[in-house]
Amino acid sequence: MATYVIGFPRIGEQRELKKALESYWSGKSSQEELKKTASDLRKRHWVYQKNAGIDLISINDFSFYDNMLDTTIMLNAVPEKYKDIEDELDRYFAMARGDKTHKAMEMTKWFNTNYHYIVPELNENMEFKANTSKIKEELEEIKELGITPKINLIGPITYVRLSKVEGNANNIIEKLIPVYKEIINEFKDYTIQMDEPYFVTNPTNQDLELLEKTYNELAKDANIYVATYFEHSNEANAVLAKTPIKGMFLDFVAGNENSIKELVNTGKEIGIGIVNGRNVWVNDIEKSAEFIKGLTEAVDSEKVHIGSSCSLLHVPYTLKYETKMDEDIKSWISYALEKLDEIRVINKLVKNEELSATDKEVLEGNKIAISTRKTSKKIHDTIVQDRVSNLTEKDKHRSMPFEERIKLQHENLKYPILPTTTIGSFPQTPELRKLRRDYKNSLISEEKYKEEIKKMIAECVKFQEEIDLDVLVHGEFERNDMVEYFGEQLNGVAFSQNGWVQSYGSRCVKPPLIYGDVSRPKDMTVEWITYAQSLTNRPMKGMLTGPVTMLNWSFVRDDQPRKDTAYQMALAIRDEVEALEAAGIKVIQVDEAALREGYPLRNEKRAEYEDWAITSFRITTSSVKPETQIHTHMCYSEFSDIMDAIEDMDADVISIENARSDNSLLKIFKERGYKGEIGPGVYDIHSPRIPSTQEMVEQINAILEVLPAEKVWVNPDCGLKTRKWEEVKPSLKNMVEAAKEVRNKLK
Judged by DSSP in three states, 51 sits in helix
| pLDDT attached to residue 173 | 97
What pLDDT digit, counting tens, does each position of 326-353 carry? 999 999 999 999 999 999 999 999 999 9
Determine whether 377 is exposed, middle or buried from the number of CB atoms within 10 Å of its CB (0-12, 13-18, 19+): exposed
Contact 311, 40 (CB under 8 A): no
Strands (E), 11-161: 58-59, 107-109, 116-118, 121-123, 150-154
H/E stretch holding 34 reads helix 31-51
Contact 162, 120 (CB under 8 A): yes
Strand-pairing partners, residue 656, are 634, 680
Alpha carbon distance 100, 555 (integer Å)? 37
| pLDDT attached to residue 223 | 96
State phi, psi for 43 to the nearest 5 degrees.
Answer: -65, -40
Alpha carbon distance 650, 634 (integer Å)? 14
What pLDDT digit, counting tens, does each position of 376-394 carry? 989 999 999 999 999 999 9
Alpha carbon distance 317, 418 (integer Å)? 45
Alpha carbon distance 130, 438 (integer Å)? 50
Alpha carbon distance 284, 366 (integer Å)? 7
Residue type, 678: I
| pLDDT attached to residue 661 | 66
Q: Calculate ∠ Cα 434-436-440, nearest 5°.
A: 115
Taking CA atoms, 684 is separated from 37, 479, 658, 718, 735, in Å, by 29, 22, 8, 8, 12
Domain 383-392+399-746 fold is: TIM Barrel (3.20.20)
Of 277, 279, 284, nearest in space to 369 by CA: 284
CATH architecture of 3-375: Alpha-Beta Barrel (3.20)
Pairing mode, if any, of strands 223-227 and 247-251? parallel
Contact 513, 494 (CB under 8 A): yes
Strands (E), 582-684: 587-591, 629-634, 653-656, 677-680
| pLDDT attached to residue 660 | 65
Alpha carbon distance 315, 310 (integer Å)? 10
| N-terminal to C-terminal alpha carbon distance within the chain | 73
DSSP string, 279-304: --BPP-HHHHHHHHHHHTTTS-GGGE
Of 208, 196, 199, 218, nearest in space to 170 by CA: 208
Q: One fold for both 3-375 and 383-392+399-746?
A: yes
Of 214, 228, 272, 270, nearest in space to 246 by CA: 270
Judged by DSSP in three states, 425 sits in strand
Contact 154, 174 (CB under 8 A): no
Contact 391, 619 (CB under 8 A): yes
Contact 258, 250 (CB under 8 A): yes
Contact 64, 21 (CB under 8 A): yes
686 is catalytic: yes
pTM of the model: 0.89
| pLDDT attached to residue 616 | 98
Pairing mode, if any, of strands 507-509 and 501-504? antiparallel
- Domain limits of the chain? 3-375, 383-392+399-746
Alpha carbon distance 550, 554 (integer Å)? 6
Alpha carbon distance 459, 661 (integer Å)? 33
DSSP code of 681?
B
Ranges of the chain with pLDDT below 70:
636-638, 660-664
Of 656, 606, 654, 617, nearest in space to 636 by CA: 656
Alpha carbon distance 470, 175 (integer Å)? 51
Alpha carbon distance 690, 723 (integer Å)? 11
Helices (H), 302-397: 327-331, 336-350, 357-375, 382-389
